[in-house]
Structure 1
Amino acid sequence: MNSQKRKVAAEDLYQLTYASDPQLSPQGDAVVYVKTMIDEERAYRNHLFVRDLQTGETVQLTSGAVRDTYPRWSPDGTRISFVSKRSGTAQVWLIDAKGGEPRQLTHCKTGVSTPLWSPDGQLIVFSSLMDRGETFDDQEGEAKEAVVPKVIHVERMKYKSDDYGYLYEKTRQLALVHVETGEVKALTDGPYHHTIGSWSPDGKWLAITANRNENPDMLHTVDVYLLPTAGGEWKKLTSSNGTFSHPTWSADSQKLAFIGSLADGIYLNATQKRVWTCDLDSGELTCVTADWDVQIGDSTIGDVRSPGHPTPGAVWTEDGTALYVIVSERGNSGIYRVALDGQKEHIVSGNRNVYGFTIDEQKQTLIAAISDPLIPGDLYQFDLGTKAEQRLTELNRDFFAEVELAVPEEIEFAAQDGWKVHGWMLKPVGYKPGEKYPLVLQIHGGPHSMYGNTFFHEFQILAAKGYAVLYTNPRGSYGYGERFMQACCGDYGGKDYLDLMSAVDYACQQFDFVDESRLGVAGGSYGGLMTNWIVGQTNRFRAGVTDRSICNWVSFYGVSDIGYYFSAEEIQANPFTNPEKMWQHSPIRLVANIETPLLIMHGEQDHRCPIEQAEQLYITLKHQGKAPVSFIRFPGAGHELSRSGDPEQRVLRLQYTEDWFATYMEPKVPSLQQ
């Protein structure tokens, strides 16, 4: 331990920065990436940087009080497109790859996203959320001040989204814009959402995904389509029997790859993503990873980077015999090279979290965005031939030079029924052998996500405050096979609860520094649900903190943006066929048992787990007049408050958590000067 270093604090969130969305130039000699930070006004800023891979020189392309994202090189490498709200709404902008003033390309009233260059560099495809009946011809000019309607007539079931707010009749449509003239041509229409995939090498086709079922509110499958850019008949490649995304073309235009899973009638949300290919001549579909029991993609939960980073999907090798993909397993996400015959090679491995990559096989170069327990997010370069690794950025060097971090210890233990459960223990900063420390059990959301080897600011704060932090992946988590992931469905509060209690038992038995009389529990979303459930089952915890939680499955069914189908799959019940089962799995049923002091925190604009869930829990506890309870509401905040919400609200949330545990668990805060 370095006695000169200080401890991590909630306010340090303002200093943390990370790199994301790396994109190699067509020549393979430079990489553009996004650097995300919080400025002195406590607002997010995203700026574009270009690094020359030969000289190591890094140039900042954009600056100012802006959020510039999604950089993509023109095919000739002379220009970079990106998305920015610098003119008021999110539009496509162009900038010379060597720097200069950017030029606005689109002027769509509702804003745009995910622009992608055509192979000849003349066109860019983009998407836009549009109202029913609206056309791209209506969209010239910038958005004006929104007018609140006197009445809203809702006919769709999926009329709101935690990502986009109230959609009502809006759908995501695709269009082309000519790079030189700015002329816009619509590609899609109708009451369906469409998502951009990739251009065919000859530029004649776009591979896209969409749910164009007759009733997309009820049938949630997503298909892959080939859309002719010059107009004409679409080609549907899948059979409305699964959910697919990120279609990518082989270099010879003969095959398409995509990520997805089949729906078996029971599990749509709780099915592992796999790699698929389609032979475009025969139409034959093949699941390349059918015999590999892993989750394709990054499923790691953290709290510094916002979720949903752009991902390349499955990237073809030059010869079309294999694909590069991110894989999540046992708390790590790395990159594999998967051959079409099923053979696998681990390209980027280790105890870390890969959340994005870009590759140039001819140059034998791969650039990955990586986090680990001590790094929020930096870029690394890998030589595919020699396997050599080089760190390209160290964005938080100065900050980490002055703070002391806790290093997690990996653990594995047997649950009560013998199933193996994996996790980590974080000792308090300043830990001294022979002393006893309070412990906080942290529970992740999802439930189909994964704690792992990534940076977690909240855990570091608790460790700095003198707590041991225990975090595990109970059944329901990604990373341990499909059977493990599906094991919580229909059993919330059953074996998953026992997994969490087994984790606490293991920690108390194996780590002599844990003070069993001072235990706390915390979690958000599903983790909040389980926190509510735990304090209704046992009084062994001195304090609990529940974030954006669920307490009542019966009401959740009708108020969440995903409630009516999520409940059917995860609880395997709905209010009109089996309300008793929904009630049995609802923590609010157990409120009379709760004696643990409980802090409830919730965003007022949370559409995933609406705030009425917190209101029910708070009022019921308060009405009983039993356990101490406090309710913190965050105006304007959605479900992603702790990861991408307003920075000041994120810091306040962390401070409320610290204060609650300090009040009821009396930690002994170590002095780093001792």
Structure 2
Amino acid sequence: MTKRAITTEDFMSLEVFSDPQFAPDGTTYAYVSTTINDKKEYESNLFVQDLNEKTARQWTFGHHKNSNPRFSPDGTKVLFQSNRSGVPQLWLLPLDGGEAKQLTTFKNGAVNAEWSKDGKSILFTASLDKDDDVANQNELSKEELQKEKEEKSKQPLHVTNLKYKSDAQGFLDDKKAHIVIYDVEKETFTQLTEGDHHYSYQDISPDGSTILFSANLSEESDYELKSDIYLLDTATKAITRLTDGDGAYYTAKYSPSGNKIAYLGHKQQYLNATLTELYVYDVETKETVCLSEDWDFQLGDLMVGDTRLGGSEGGPVWSSDENKVFFIGSDNGAVNLYEVSLTGELKSLYQADSHVFGFSYHPTNESFVIGVSTPTVPCNFYLLDSKATVEQLTDANREFLDNVATSVPESITFKAKDGWDIHGWVLRPYGFEEGKKYPLVLEVHGGPHAMYGQTFFHEMQLLAAQGYVVLYTNPRGSHGYGQKFVDACRGDYGGGDYGDVMSAVDYALETYDFIDQERLGVTGGSYGGFMTNWIVGHTNRFKAAVTQRSISNWLSFYGVSDIGYFFNKWQHGYDLLDDPKALWDISPLKYADKVETPLLILHGELDYRCPIEQGEQFFVALKHLKKEVEFVRFPGANHELSRSGKPEMRVERLNHILRWFDKYL
């Protein structure tokens, strides 16, 4: 049977896995499955699977978002987060039968909960006003929430902080994220942090005497992009800073004995292009060792994709004997699972042409449940045992995979004009026939410090299904190829990075005789949108372009983006107040009169990362010059439109991309 081509709507039928969590006895694990329901809304539910069984059992039901499953240390209960009552709250599910019990009724919700090691307490984060009493919190009904939202929309926004908006959260208020502890036996809440700062809970010591959190407690925090790791005494609430205040530090974990702390971060030597380091702090000697000092790859998951929903553990996680630390890292277009000894010996535990998006470690069995995505399989869980044997546990999206054809990427490496090695991939079109010529679409990722690679990408597969050769690369500035490479685009936007993507096109045309050099298209979002705008202002080689959530004017970007006030300085070396002419010279808007390529501009109305005025300016300039241009504005959409935006808006976006390329290519 010939498999059919992928369609625009197919992403809505996919099941997306995340957050695997071993049960204490190591015989079962829980996870989160996210789908899109008949109402075209995201919903997520909890599942549990016995390692000896082929199918999983569903734990939660309904059109809600249930996530963050955490087994109690004795394995009798599961704590999870659910928005079924209106906002995210904490719920407790007994595993011997019975209904889930709601633990929190905080007005603004309770999130990211974890158990203490003895199971007597639960720690979580809550958004609180200065005078809130955690002992008397009452959530609003859905009707009251809606009324409050409507009333708030009628009030003026009084802004006093530099950081007053966020693409993820919209306009910010005076509430702060604080850490709260819940006594399971007494059923009481105690607020552990206070003041006019945000606190991010990390871990609690085995004896429960101290907790780890990350925060910026400086009086200048509104102007800084730093964070430190702190210790908080749970009895006295005394706070001790663990790191030096010279960078960004986060994701801290106690070793099983509590004698050591592993954490991630860096000193911002290359600002936001700095590779993440892994540190270990000795609680007794107060000495810190950097285990990753000699490495040259990025810790964590920097993969770009459009079918990942929900967070997962990425490390650091301690081994049971405290001699090793486990984590995932991004390298050469793949995300792998690693371990490092306390003497700095690095070992790959799972490395393939794939994307390890999360893992759970069981200390007794010395085994892992790992979540893996590949370019042709959206997601599955695997058991990686102590003997390095890999066993597939799930068979997600089987019906989809049995009926739909996917294109296998061909890895390419080519030389840029200045001799740098650039890595990328080519997808052949659906139903490929030798001797036939096909149009090509070049994709440019955002970031710029991110990474294309070995993961399932619906948009790429869709373009291939529509008869296009798809070319996607990791130009300089991308993660996965070392510190020098990821830093190479800073101060050189539109220079070497532009040369890299154009060299990719040259290489593809020289290598693949089935590409029609007269039918070339280009698209990209965010930084990729900037690059698309830059490309059409500097070459006429492309017959069609689609720019998404783009940047066209760095001068105005400085004042309108939620990151503009620092991003210009960090990426270009100057901002609006330092050198407006230099910013104008690297703004695609300056070259609008040179654009001859038909351009489609796609932008979300609520994008605060690359605000919609960036698209508006480019459209008006091009239209005023009587260029071939169209502008599509997506209501209610922020910067995440293509990844986690409203499903119906995602479909519209994809259809517009296909329409434009079909018209001109």
* TM-score of the two chains, using structure 2 as the length reference: 0.97
Q: Residue in 2 aligned with 1:140?
A: 138
Structure 2 counterpart SS, 1:544 = strand
Q: Residue in 1 aligned with 2:516?
A: 515
Q: Residue in 1 aligned with 2:105?
A: 107
Q: Does 1:176 align with 2:181?
A: yes
Q: Does 1:217 align with 2:222?
A: yes
Q: Residue in 2 aligned with 1:89?
A: 87
CA contact (8 A) 2:92 2:103 kept: yes
Task: Provide the rounded CA distance (Å) in 2 between the counterparts of 1:520 and 1:55.
Answer: 47
Unaligned runs of 5+ in 2: none
Task: Provide the rounded CA distance (Å) in 1 between the counterparts of 2:48 and 2:135.
Answer: 35
Q: Residue in 2 aligned with 1:291?
A: 294
Structure 1 counterpart SS, 2:162 = coil
Q: Residue in 1 aligned with 2:646?
A: 646
From 298, 301, 304, the equivalent of 2:304 is 301
Post-superposition Cα deviations, 1:78-97, rounded to whole Å, max 9, x if no partner, equal: 11111111011110011123
Farther off after superposition, 98-107 or 372-381: 98-107
Q: Residue in 1 aligned with 2:24?
A: 26
Task: Provide the rounded CA distance (Å) in 2 between the counterparts of 1:123 and 1:71.
Answer: 16
Task: Provide the rounded CA distance (Å) in 2 between the counterparts of 1:160 and 1:132.
Answer: 20
5 Å-filtered alignment, 1:62-77, equals 62-77=60-75
5 Å-filtered alignment, 1:270-289, equals 270-289=273-292
Task: Provide the rounded CA distance (Å) in 2 between the counterparts of 1:155 and 1:138.
Answer: 29
Q: Residue in 1 aligned with 2:380?
A: 378
Q: Residue in 2 aligned with 1:360?
A: 362
Task: Provide the rounded CA distance (Å) in 1 between the counterparts of 2:508 and 2:90.
Answer: 51
Q: Residue in 2 aligned with 1:658?
A: 658
Task: Provide the rounded CA distance (Å) in 2 between the counterparts of 1:312 and 1:416.
Answer: 36
CA contact (8 A) 1:69 1:83 kept: yes
5 Å-filtered alignment, 1:535-574, equals 535-574=536-575
Q: Does the C-alpha gap of structure 1 residues 312 and 201 become closer, same or farther in structure 2, counting only changes over 3 Å?
A: farther
CA contact (8 A) 2:313 2:360 kept: no
Q: Does 1:160 align with 2:165?
A: yes
Q: Residue in 2 aligned with 1:129?
A: 127
CA contact (8 A) 1:334 1:349 kept: yes
CA contact (8 A) 1:524 1:548 kept: yes
Task: Provide the rounded CA distance (Å) in 2 between the counterparts of 1:105 and 1:515.
Answer: 61
- Report percent identity of matched pairs: 45
Task: Provide the rounded CA distance (Å) in 2 between the counterparts of 1:238 and 1:616.
Answer: 44
Post-superposition Cα deviations, 1:511-537, rounded to whole Å, max 9, x if no partner, equal: 111111000000000000100000000
Q: Residue in 2 aligned with 1:258?
A: 263
Structure 1 counterpart SS, 2:256 = coil
Task: Provide the rounded CA distance (Å) in 2 between the counterparts of 1:125 and 1:287.
Answer: 29
5 Å-filtered alignment, 1:520-531, equals 520-531=521-532
Aligned letter for 1:162?
A: D
Post-superposition Cα deviations, 1:447-483, rounded to whole Å, max 9, x if no partner, equal: 0000000000001111011000000000000000011
Farther off after superposition, 16-25 or 149-158: 149-158
Task: Provide the rounded CA distance (Å) in 1 between the counterparts of 2:346 and 2:11.
Answer: 39
Aligned letter for 1:466?
A: G
Task: Provide the rounded CA distance (Å) in 2 between the counterparts of 1:168 and 1:142.
Answer: 18
5 Å-filtered alignment, 1:597-608, equals 597-608=598-609
Aligned letter for 1:664?
A: Y
Structure 1 counterpart SS, 2:222 = coil
Task: Provide the rounded CA distance (Å) in 2 between the counterparts of 1:130 and 1:157.
Answer: 20
Task: Provide the rounded CA distance (Å) in 2 between the counterparts of 1:650 and 1:180.
Answer: 46
Aligned letter for 2:502?
A: M
5 Å-filtered alignment, 1:328-477, equals 328-385=330-387, 387-477=388-478
Shift in Å, 1:344: 1.2
Task: Provide the rounded CA distance (Å) in 2 between the counterparts of 1:639 and 1:59.
Answer: 35
Task: Provide the rounded CA distance (Å) in 2 between the counterparts of 1:331 and 1:47.
Answer: 30
Q: Residue in 2 aligned with 1:232?
A: 237
CA contact (8 A) 2:55 2:394 kept: no
Q: Residue in 2 aligned with 1:668?
A: none
From 6, 10, 15, the equivalent of 1:17 is 15
Task: Provide the rounded CA distance (Å) in 2 between the counterparts of 1:269 and 1:130.
Answer: 30
Post-superposition Cα deviations, 1:181-226, rounded to whole Å, max 9, x if no partner, equal: 4421111122211111111111111111111111112221110011
Q: Does 1:586 align with 2:587?
A: yes
Post-superposition Cα deviations, 1:561-610, rounded to whole Å, max 9, x if no partner, equal: 11111111011111111111211111111111111111111111111111
Structure 2 counterpart SS, 1:476 = coil
Post-superposition Cα deviations, 1:520-555, rounded to whole Å, max 9, x if no partner, equal: 000000000100000000010010011111111111
Q: Does the C-alpha gap of structure 1 residues 415 and 74 become closer, same or farther in structure 2, counting only changes over 3 Å?
A: same
Farther off after superposition, 309-318 or 635-644: 309-318
Q: Does the C-alpha gap of structure 1 residues 138 and 585 become closer, same or farther in structure 2, counting only changes over 3 Å?
A: farther
Q: How large is the RMSD of aligned CA atoms in angstroms?
A: 1.3
Task: Provide the rounded CA distance (Å) in 1 between the counterparts of 2:95 and 2:340.
Answer: 33
Shift in Å, 1:137: 4.6
CA contact (8 A) 1:73 1:80 kept: yes
Count how many residue pairs are aligned between Structure 1 and Structure 2: 658
Q: Residue in 1 aligned with 2:42?
A: 44
Post-superposition Cα deviations, 1:371-422, rounded to whole Å, max 9, x if no partner, equal: 010111111111122x111111111001110111111000000000000000
Shift in Å, 1:268: 2.2
Structure 1 counterpart SS, 2:504 = helix
Structure 1 counterpart SS, 2:139 = coil
Q: Residue in 1 aligned with 2:208?
A: 203
Give 4+ residue runs of structure 1 displaced > 6 Å after superposition: none
Farther off after superposition, 534-543 or 127-136: 127-136
Shift in Å, 1:127: 0.8
Task: Provide the rounded CA distance (Å) in 2 between the counterparts of 1:350 and 1:150.
Answer: 53
Shift in Å, 1:231: 2.7
Shift in Å, 1:247: 0.4
* TM-score of the two chains, using structure 1 as the length reference: 0.96
Shift in Å, 1:312: 4.3
Aligned letter for 2:397?
A: N
Task: Provide the rounded CA distance (Å) in 1 between the counterparts of 2:16 and 2:500.
Answer: 33
CA contact (8 A) 2:192 2:237 kept: no
Shift in Å, 1:159: 1.0
Q: Does 1:268 align with 2:266?
A: no
CA contact (8 A) 1:156 1:168 kept: no
Structure 2 counterpart SS, 1:326 = strand
Aligned letter for 1:367?
A: V
Task: Provide the rounded CA distance (Å) in 1 between the counterparts of 2:573 and 2:85.
Answer: 47
CA contact (8 A) 1:18 1:376 kept: yes
Q: Does the C-alpha gap of structure 1 residues 403 and 56 become closer, same or farther in structure 2, counting only changes over 3 Å?
A: closer
Q: Does the C-alpha gap of structure 1 residues 199 and 312 become closer, same or farther in structure 2, counting only changes over 3 Å?
A: farther
Aligned letter for 1:360?
A: H
Task: Provide the rounded CA distance (Å) in 2 between the counterparts of 1:312 and 1:459.
Answer: 26
CA contact (8 A) 1:105 1:179 kept: no
Task: Provide the rounded CA distance (Å) in 1 between the counterparts of 2:170 and 2:381.
Answer: 32
Q: Residue in 2 aligned with 1:616?
A: 617
Post-superposition Cα deviations, 1:616-674, rounded to whole Å, max 9, x if no partner, equal: 11111111112x11111111111101000101111111111111100000xxxxxxxxx
Aligned letter for 2:389?
A: A
CA contact (8 A) 1:260 1:274 kept: yes
CA contact (8 A) 2:368 2:385 kept: yes
Task: Provide the rounded CA distance (Å) in 2 between the counterparts of 1:615 and 1:642.
Answer: 19
Shift in Å, 1:244: 1.1
Post-superposition Cα deviations, 1:426-463, rounded to whole Å, max 9, x if no partner, equal: 01111111111000000000000000000000011110
